[in-house]
Structure formats: C-alpha cells, structure tokens
Amino acid sequence: MAQTEKWIKSFEHFSRKITDEKSFLNELDSAIGDGDHGSNLTRGVAAVNEKLEQQSYDNLSDLFKDIGMVLVSKVGGASGPLYGSAFISMAKQSKESDDISSLLSSGLDGITKRGKAETGEKTMVDVWAPAVDALKDGTLDQSVIDSALESTKDMKATKGRASYLGDRSIGHIDPGAQSSAYFFESLLEAGVT
Ligand code: ADP
Ligand code: MG
Ligand code: MG
C-alpha cells in the first residue's frame, strides 16, 4: 500500500477512536481541565474527514498540510493547534523523507515549538516523546504506549489548563496523553510503522 493510503487509514482509525471515546476523553478532561477534550477533537476529526473525502492525495506533504490546517482552524482549545502543528511540521519533513521516525520526530518538534512543554509536565508530549524514541529504535508497541500514558498519572501538570490545579492534578491521566495514545495505536493498526 502506498504511504499516503496507510496514513489515511491510520487517520481513519484515530478518527474512530476519538469519536467512540469522546465521552471518556471529556471525562478525563473534566477531572483536571474543562471537560471538552473529546468534543474538541471529535469536531476536528469530523472536519478533517470532510476535507479528505473531497480530495485525493498523491503525496504525504499535501495530506499532512490539509490535516494540520483543518485541525488548527476547527478545534477550539489547546489541543487543535498542537496536533495541527504536529501535522504541519510533518508536511515539511515529508519533503525530505517519508521515514516514520523522522516524520513523527518532526511532529513532536512542532508540538514542543508551539506548546513549549518538556517531558514530565503531564501533557501529550509525555506520550509523543517516548513513542518517537521507540520508533527510532524500532520498538514501538502497545506496551510502550500504555506505560507512557500511565506515567502521566503521577505527574503534576505544569503546562496547560491542568496546571491551574497544581498538586491536585496528580492522580489523573492527562486527556491529551490519552488521545495521543489513540494516535500512536492507530499508526500501529494501520501498519504505518
Ligand atoms: P483546552 O485545555 O484548551 O480545553 P483540550 O482540552 O482540547 O484544550 O486539550 C487539553 C490537552 O492539551 C491537555 O490534556 C494536554 O495534553 C494538552 N496540552 C495543553 N497545553 C499543552 C502544552 N503547552 N504543550 C503540550 N500539550 C499541551
Ligand atoms: Mg479542555
Ligand atoms: Mg477548552
């Protein structure tokens, strides 16, 4: 299968998981944020799906650029610009290489440039960073994703809305880490990796 088809398949998996788990993602966000993470991303993936239906893609750069632009413009909240930046960064990188680890590594760069979070701050970066490391080593699997996600539970949030809670953010999974876990699971399922 061509790379573009695999990535579209992967986005379909992501889109389905986000939509199916909308309430769960909102619940996670209710505990440490404003309860809209599932709704925000569901709106975003629906808008992306609409765009992808109207268009056909013969290269990753155009595909990623469209996904990124739609996510930035259609998702209210922090997560839209962050996921959007990941895809826009990947659009640029895909002109150099379609290697999965270099693509996702630049996706992570896009997120950290935009959000300025480092690992350990209880954000999506705490799933993206270990997942990208594992991709580089060729060891990304479900257990890597699960333990990265779980690790956010004991962290104190120091970025984003959850940081307003200080110590009270401890003991909860980060919602953006959960949606990012779905993102990397989708890559595995679509065989992009
Ligand atoms: P909002 O907080 O604006 O309501 P969402 O609920 O959609 O936006 O997204 C919240 C998620 O965004 C958090 O769980 C966290 O993973 C992620 N996030 C917030 N700020 C940052 C940041 N500066 N860097 C990386 N991720 C962040
Ligand atoms: Mg929120
Ligand atoms: Mg919000």
What digits encode the pLDDT tens for the residues 20-40? 999 999 999 999 999 999 999
Tell me the CA–centroid distance for residue 23 and ligand 1, in Å: 17
Q: Rounded to whole angstroms, how far apart are CA atoms 85 and 182? A: 18
Q: What distance in angstroms lies between residue 138's CA and the mean position of ligand 2's atoms? A: 33
| Number of structural domains in the chain | 1
Residue 1 has pLDDT above 80, yes or no: no
Q: Token pair 């699971």 is at which residue?
A: 185
Residue 92: pLDDT band (50, 70, 90) is very high
The confidence score (pLDDT) of residue 112 equals: 98
Instruction: List Cα–Cα distances, 76 to 28, 94, 186, in angstroms.
Output: 17, 27, 23
Contacts of 56 (CB under 8 A, 6+ apart): none
Closest CA to 101 of 64, 129, 143, 127: 129
How far apart, in whole angstroms, are the C-alpha atoms of residue 110 and residue 155?
23
CATH of the domain at 58: 1.25.40.340
pTM, full prediction: 0.98
CA 75 to ligand 1: nearest atom: 7
Q: Which ligand is the nearest neighbour of the Cα of 172? A: 1
Q: What's the pLDDT tens digit per position in 156-172?
A: 999 999 999 999 999 99
Q: Which atom of ligand 1 is nearest to the CA of 40?
A: 7
Helix (H, G, I), strand (E, B) or coil at 122: coil
Look up tokens 């539970």; give the residue.
153
The residue segments making up the domain with residue 41 are 3-190
Residue 59 CA to ligand 2 centre (angstroms): 33
Q: What is the ipTM of this complex?
A: 0.99
What separation in Å is there between the alpha carbon of 138 and the centre of ligand 1? Answer: 28
CB of 157 closer than 6 A to ligand 1? Answer: no
Number of the ligand closest to the Cα of 175? 1
pLDDT band at 107 (very low <50, low <70, confident <90, very high): very high
